[in-house]
Amino acid sequence: MAVLSSTDPQKSRSPEDHGDPSFATTLAHGLDVLAAFRNHSGSLSNAELALHTGLSRPTVSRLTYTLEQLGYLKRDTKGRFQLGLGILAAAYPVLSALKVRQLARPLMRDFAAYTGGTVSIAMPFGLDFIYVETLRTTDAVAHLPDVGFAGSLAPTAVGRALLSLFTRQELDDYVAKVKAERPEEADYVKARTLPDIELCKERGFAISLGDWRREIFGVAAPLYRTPSGDCLSVNCGIPSFRFNAEQIERECGPRMLGLARSIRSLVASD
């Protein structure tokens, strides 16, 4: 099974694409520039940002200048752009409002120690998931995600766990959006993701045996929906040399289900 790639920032859309005359195109373009950094840990030039966003060089130059003045971008010694601290300041209220992050950490630490992997809490973000908390006790995993890391819902255990919390209409909308925006994932979603979502609903956890990254086995469980409708799930990325597929299914899966139940109990009693 080929590993599905991480998502690239979406191309900018015009008001006509949205069918909404109130849509602020310039604002959307600026956010597209910021989103281009999601899959790049280093700096980007205006030319590279133009390539990633599909915007013209003059437009990108105006946007990066404005974003730099506002503190959302900064220049490195070569004049290339990096994300600025304004991004972190804007994200703080979102993270601080998620009390589950603090409550779940001791339980997440225990599970990370058991598996030798990385335990995270995730929320859906369009066709992707995004980590709002992550914890590990070892650096044995080559891929070490952190808070803010995003990846595709389709091939991941955490994505399937999140999607299991969707209503039927939300799931139908997700499938339609995949077909429209990521047609290369459509067949995979139909053949693998949707059946695994139903399996997750039946047994309470989802697994992904190297579908996303060959060297990582994933196991995840849905947590809950917030009163405002946000979905959360907990997952663990486990080095494939630590457990075989049968152990992931028979041992790690039920333990992950127990972890999710314990986290829900803590949140309910807080």
Structural domains in the chain?
A: 15-90 (1.10.10.10), 98-269 (3.30.450.40)
pLDDT reported for residue 144: 66
> Tens digits of per-residue pLDDT, 175-219?
999 999 999 999 999 999 999 999 999 999 999 998 878 888 999
* Angle in degrees, CA 182, 72, 44, rounded to 5: 60
pLDDT reported for residue 3: 40
Ranges in the chain, pLDDT < 70:
1-19, 39, 139-144
Kindly report the pTM of this predicted structure. 0.80
pLDDT reported for residue 7: 46
Enter the tokens of residue 46.
């205006």
Residue 25, C-beta contacts closer than 8 angstroms, at least 6 positions apart = 12, 14, 15
Q: How far is CA 22 from CA 11, 30, 140, in A?
A: 19, 16, 49
